[in-house]
Structure formats: C-alpha cells, structure tokens
Amino acid sequence: MAKLSEKRREALALVAAGYTSKEAALQLDISPRSFDDRIEAACRILGVATRNEAARIYRSVEGDPERLRGEPLRVGESSVSDAWKAQQPVDRHLHVSDALIFDQRASWHGDRRGLRPGIRPSDLGVTGKLLAIVGGAIALLAVAILLVTSASALGTFFGV
C-alpha cells in the first residue's frame, strides 16, 4: 500500500466507500476516465484484477475491513437464533421481514428480440435515418396533395 501515491489511495478510498467512477470523479474534480486510470494503476500495483479487490485490500490495510456496498451479505450460523430458524420452513427460502422477492421480471425489462420485430432507429446509420426522414416528409406531402385535390374536386362537384 506504501507504493501507491496519495491520489491513488484517495481514489481507492472512494471506491471502498461505494462511489461510482462518475460520482468519485465529481468529488475529486477530475474526469471519470482519469479516475478510472488511477484505479487501474492501483490495481496493477496491488496485483489484483478488479477494483473491488483493490478496495478490499485498501480497507484491510486501513483497518476497516467492512463489507463493500453491493457485495452480498454473508450471514454466519451464529448470527441466526435457533428460535427464528425453527419458524422457517425447511424446504423453502428463509423469510426476512424487510426483504423483497421478485418472482418475475418487469414487463419493460424483457428480451429486446421479443419486443417488436422490424427495424429500430438504432439499427440505421446517419444516412438511413436521413432517408427515413426524407421519405416520411415525401409521404406527408403526397397525403396533403391528395387531400387538397380531393377537396377541390368535391368543391367543383357540389358547386362551391
């Protein structure tokens, strides 16, 4: 940890506190890319692959080996009382009073392939989008001309 510069230790402290790159960069008044560069350099120096591993090392060296935000909470056997365990069904999940269980995904969080067949705007390049806009404008102009011609024909038919 002594090999790390003050700026890299500061960046690791923010990762250990649970900040995203954008949030931490805002705190340090640098770009998110510069922040990521500091974290990557710290990972190389510490010999770890991920920023969470580096943050875990930082926390253990700093004397605060607390769980990182977003990591799963591991509950040891000693922390669960026997009376509480006796109330739980053996063949089912443990029920925690403040936990939420989602049995299905939200309707808007479906598979992209199943939403709508056809071409999406993201599939088109700049030229394709421009052609689609021009084609739509021509179609609207044709409809307008057709309506004006129809109104004119009806006007002459009824003598108006």
Place of tokens 């004397």: 63
Query: Could you give the CA distance from residue 131 to residue 83 in angstroms, rounded to a whole number?
Result: 70
| Residue at 143 is within a domain | yes
| Residue at 45 is within a domain | yes
| Residue at 21 is within a domain | yes
Q: In this structure, what CATH number is given to the domain that contains residue 40?
A: 1.10.10.10
Supply the DSSP string of 52-91, one letter for each residue.
HHHHHHHHHHTT--PPPTTSPPPPPGGGS-HHHHHHS-TT
| Residue at 81 is within a domain | no
Task: Choose the final residue of a domain: 30, 45, 61.
Answer: 61
Domain coverage including residue 15: 6-61
Task: Choose the final residue of a domain: 61, 77, 103.
Answer: 61
Query: Could you give the CA distance from residue 38 to residue 47 in angstroms, rounded to a whole number?
Result: 14
| Residue at 11 is within a domain | yes
Neighbour tally for 130: CB within 10 Å: 11
- In this predicted structure, the answer to whether residue 27 has a pLDDT above a threshold of 70 is yes
pTM higher than 0.85, yes or no? Answer: no
| Residue at 73 is within a domain | no
- In this predicted structure, the answer to whether residue 154 has a pLDDT above a threshold of 70 is yes
Give the pLDDT confidence of 95-117 residue by residue, as tens digits. 555 556 555 555 555 555 444 55
